[in-house]
């Protein structure tokens, strides 16, 4: 059984480029589950022998321990991901976690925008064709198309963009670099900014920051916040709209359109899948 765990951890490392800390968390959670199985009276020596009932008993066991709800949610998510991996490789015939609901984590749901609100926000800077507006159009589109954090997008360099492939290399936490694709519309506004906007903003030819302020220097976090606040007002959006609102909206809309939870976790750069799972509650809320 340990062999399949190590195969899964290797898959996560290679496919999703997870950090050592994340891999260690998965290993601990799955090893804990395996020890629980071995401690049962039933004869379980292969993963295909794990039943729905055994998984439910383990979830019940964890809820009886002094774990935070977020810890239980993370452990359940690890087990579900592991069995999805085993099912795809036909190590198990049936996935015993299919009927297992992830524990609800008591967190305030993030504020997101509707797709219509997103359209209004992205359209706001297009009303003029100035270098600043070209920058802001590219900036807002890229934020929503990739779900990047504030620090990540203002820290982008010119060399982080691969215009030919429509991807960018996003340096994240713990030295990890995420490869983020973006759509054709975002590609077009990026090219327009690079060709007709940025050349009018740059003061120093050695400056390689992608997004520049009016002084020709790297755009700051505070500057980005003010930009979004201004366009949110222009679009007449209600509520507090911040750069993170676009990140939340990106995640929620991805899941609503059927994207895989692990893929969204990878795009967002979350260390634990339980962090990403909160967006499934938003998607479920839309269905009810």
pLDDT digits (tens, 9 = 90+) for 200-225: 999 999 999 999 999 999 999 999 99
Q: Is 270 a catalytic residue?
A: yes
Write down the pLDDT at residue 258.
87
Q: Is residue 221 among the annotated active site residues?
A: no
Q: Could you write out the DSSP letters of every residue in the chain?
A: -HHHHHHHHHHHHHHH---HHHHHHHHHHHHHHHHHHHHSSS---SGGG--HHHHHHHHHHHHTTT--HHHHHHHHHHHHHHHHHHHHTTSSSS-TTTTPPPPPP--PPPP---HHHHHHHHHGGGG--SHHHHHHHHHHHHHHHH---HHHHHT-BGGGEETTTTEEEEE-GGG-EEEEE--HHHHHHHHHIIIIIHHHH-SSTT--BSSB-TTSSBPPHHHHHHHHHHHHHHTT--S---HHHHHHHHHHHHHHTT--HHHHHHHHT-SSHHHHHHHHHHHHHHH-
Token code pair at residue 25: 């968390």
Selected catalytic residue, list 173, 221, 229, 263: 173
The encoded tokens of residue 68 equal 């935070």
**What pLDDT does residue 174 have?**
64
> Which residue segments constitute the domains of the chain, with CATH numbers given?
2-88 (1.10.150.130), 115-287 (1.10.443.10)
Q: Mean pLDDT over all residues of the chain?
A: 89
Out of 149, 187, 248, 253, the active site residue is 149
* Alpha-carbon dihedral 230, 235, 241, 244, rounded to 10 degrees: -90
The yes-or-no answer on residue 244 being catalytic is yes
pTM of the model: 0.63
247 part of the active site: yes
The residues of the chain scoring below 70 in pLDDT are 41-42, 102-108, 173-174, 281-288
Instruction: Give the active site residue among 187, 198, 254, 270.
Output: 270
Q: Residue 88 catalytic?
A: no
């Amino acid at each position: 059984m340990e062999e399949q765990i190590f195969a899964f951890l290797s898959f996560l490392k290679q496919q999703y480029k997870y950090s050592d800390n994340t891999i260690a968390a998965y290993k601990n959670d799955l090893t804990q589950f395996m020890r629980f199985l071995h401690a049962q009276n039933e004869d379980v020596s292969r993963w295909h022998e794990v039943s729905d009932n055994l998984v439910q008993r383990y979830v019940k066991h964890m809820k009886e321990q002094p774990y935070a709800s977020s810890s239980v949610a993370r452990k359940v998510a690890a087990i579900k991901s592991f069995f999805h991996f085993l099912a795809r490789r036909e190590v198990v015939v049936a996935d015993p976690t299919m009927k297992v609901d992830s524990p609800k984590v008591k967190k305030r749901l993030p504020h997101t925008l509707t797709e219509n609100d997103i359209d209004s926000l992205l359209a706001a800077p297009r009303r003029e064709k100035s270098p600043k507006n070209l920058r802001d159009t590219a900036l807002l589109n890229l934020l929503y198309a990739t779900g990047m954090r504030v620090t990540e997008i203002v820290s982008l360099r010119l060399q982080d963009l691969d215009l030919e492939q429509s991807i960018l290399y996003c340096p994240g936490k713990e030295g990890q670099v995420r490869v983020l694709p973006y759509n054709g519309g975002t590609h077009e506004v990026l090219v327009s900014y690079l060709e007709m906007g940025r050349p009018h903003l740059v003061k120093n030819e050695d400056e390689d920051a992608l997004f520049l302020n009016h002084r020709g220097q790297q755009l700051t976090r505070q500057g980005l916040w003010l930009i979004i606040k201004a366009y949110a007002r222009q679009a007449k959006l209600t509520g507090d709209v911040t750069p993170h609102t676009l990140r939340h909206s990106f995640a929620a809309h991805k899941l609503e359109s059927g994207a895989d939870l692990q893929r969204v976790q990878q795009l967002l750069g979350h260390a634990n899948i339980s962090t990403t799972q909160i967006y499934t509650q938003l998607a479920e809320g839309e269905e009810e």
